[in-house]
């Protein structure tokens, strides 16, 4: 049916549209720029990137010494001495009831199984994954914006073609009515022509609704109010240059966002395995502390005086229990790393399949465009012949109406093929990481 065809094409001619208040003409590149700046999904990914950058700084800050200070005040109770047993009256030992302490402590990690360096590398890998994920999201948003943008162009050109076709049909209907007045054709011919004309007029409402829906989707995805009516500029929709399939696969291996994300995920799993293995290694650090205490009750003889004491040196720890506590954690990390390697290989296969499909579909769309263009000439010539024979009473009205529909259909098919080729080209560029 004609209405079914109205769902799959785009504008490739310059349309004269009144840019009323709230309307703005934009090229596809301008739409992409708007999407990169104002799309909410891209903004969320950007915040994710900023958060990962802060995590790197936090991991690097662990190389700095740990410094702490503490203060303590206590009220000390009496200290009875039970020299003759707990059931005898004790002797009261004199104590100072107020206790004060102010202390400072510092520790500098020297070696902890390279866990700090590994943690920094992990966060750097996560940051790179976040960057590639943002780029992948941006590419997906651009492709969706392209689809909505081309939907608007498609609907506008359909409307333009249909309005011109309806004007031609109105003239043709007047000719049929004149033949009816002259008694050359039956009234059924007039009714059939009017019925087809009314059906095609109803298609205009669907086209207007398609335009409104696509415009709202595009407004939302690029961060504009729903009231803005975007008018696509008359961009050239000629076919894009096509390289060899092997060149596209090579480009995908270098630029594909999915490939880079998978590659960094594999690197991250390897770093996590190294971090788990680091739990078995000794830890060495420098420490120092100093405190002021009143009264002096740490060393004998005790004294009711304020005293200060400090220590510094090297502290080494060997986690012996990790030899059996860490065993299964290390095994689980090794399994996860091997699983990620297989997933990375599977991602490579998926990317090659996506590139192959997009490549073949683009070539198919280009070929369909050439066929559709030839069909317009054939359908137009067929309409001319049938029109002459009908008005000379040598063919039926149904033949004329079918010929009219075929002409409009081929024009829609041509527009649909050109849009499909352009959209498929963007799909190919997304697959290789170039959108």
> What are the helix (H) ranges across 278-395?
322-325, 327-391
Domains and CATH numbers, the chain: 2-15+22-431 (1.20.1600.10)
Please check whether residue 142 is in contact with residue 35, taking contact to mean a CB–CB distance below 8 angstroms. Answer: yes
Predicted TM-score (pTM) of the model is 0.78
Q: Tell me how far the alpha carbon of residue 400 is from its chain's centroid.
A: 50
pLDDT, tens digit (0-9, with 9 covering 90-100), for 308-358: 888 999 999 888 888 888 889 889 999 999 999 999 999 999 999 999 999
Mean pLDDT of each 10-residue bin along the chain, 435 residues long: 36 36 81 91 92 92 91 88 82 84 91 87 92 92 92 86 80 74 71 76 85 91 87 66 85 89 92 89 90 81 83 89 86 92 92 91 88 83 76 70 76 83 89 88
> On the CB side of 209, how many CA atoms lie within 13 Å of its CA?
8
Please check whether residue 65 is in contact with residue 108, taking contact to mean a CB–CB distance below 8 angstroms. Answer: yes
Distance CA 135, CA 432 (A): 12
Please check whether residue 303 is in contact with residue 113, taking contact to mean a CB–CB distance below 8 angstroms. Answer: no
pLDDT at 237: 52
Q: Is the dihedral of CA 213, 216, 218, 221 positive or negative?
A: negative
Alpha-carbon dihedral angle through residues 153, 405, 376, 167, given to the nearest 10 degrees: -70
Distance CA 194, CA 130 (A): 60
Q: Is the dihedral of CA 405, 406, 409, 414 positive or negative?
A: negative
Q: Is the dihedral of CA 260, 263, 267, 268 positive or negative?
A: positive
Q: Which two tokens stand for residue 417?
A: 């093929």
């Amino acid at each position: 049916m004609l209405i079914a065809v109205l769902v799959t094409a785009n504008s490739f001619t310059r349309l004269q549209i009144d840019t009323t208040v709230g309307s703005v003409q934009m090229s596809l590149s301008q739409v992409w720029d708007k999407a990169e700046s104002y799309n909410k999904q891209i903004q969320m990914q950007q915040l994710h990137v900023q958060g990962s950058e802060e995590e790197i700084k936090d991991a690097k800050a662990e190389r700095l010494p740990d410094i702490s200070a503490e203060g303590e005040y206590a009220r000390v109770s009496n200290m009875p001495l039970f020299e003759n047993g707990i059931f005898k009256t004790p002797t009261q030992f004199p104590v100072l009831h107020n206790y004060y302490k102010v202390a400072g402590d510092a520790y500098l990690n020297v070696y902890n199984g390279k866990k700090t360096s590994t943690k920094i590398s992990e966060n750097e890998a996560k940051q790179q994954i976040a960057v590639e994920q943002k780029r992948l999201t941006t590419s997906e948003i651009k492709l969706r914006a392209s689809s909505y943008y081309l939907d608007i162009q498609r609907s506008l050109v359909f409307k333009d073609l249909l309005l011109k076709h309806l004007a031609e049909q109105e003239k043709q209907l007047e000719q049929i009515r004149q033949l009816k007045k002259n008694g050359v054709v039956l009234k059924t011919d007039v009714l059939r022509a009017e019925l087809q004309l009314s059906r095609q007029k109803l298609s205009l409402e669907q086209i207007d609704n398609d335009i409104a829906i696509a415009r709202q989707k595009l407004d939302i995805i690029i961060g504009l109010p729903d009231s803005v009516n975007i008018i696509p500029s008359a961009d050239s929709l000629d076919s894009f240059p096509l390289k060899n399939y092997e060149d596209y696969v090579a480009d995908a291996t270098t630029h594909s966002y999915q490939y880079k994300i998978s590659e960094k995920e594999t690197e991250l799993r390897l770093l996590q395995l190294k971090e788990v293995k680091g739990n078995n290694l000794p830890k060495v650090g420098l420490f120092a502390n100093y405190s002021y205490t009143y009264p002096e009750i740490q060393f004998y003889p005790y004294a009711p005086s304020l005293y200060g004491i400090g220590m510094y040196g090297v502290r080494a720890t060997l986690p012996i229990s990790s030899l059996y506590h860490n065993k299964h954690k290390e095994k689980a990390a090794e399994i996860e790393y091997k699983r990620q390697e297989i997933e990375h290989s599977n991602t490579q296969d998926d990317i090659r399949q996506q590139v192959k499909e997009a490549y073949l579909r683009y070539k198919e769309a280009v070929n369909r465009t050439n066929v559709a263009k030839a069909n317009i000439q054939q359908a137009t010539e067929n309409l001319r012949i049938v029109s002459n024979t009908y008005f000379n009473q040598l063919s039926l009205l149904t033949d004329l109406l079918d010929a009219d529909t075929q002409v409009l259909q081929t024009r829609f098919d041509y527009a649909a093929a050109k849009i499909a080729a352009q959209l498929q080209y963007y799909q190919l560029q997304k697959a290789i990481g170039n959108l």
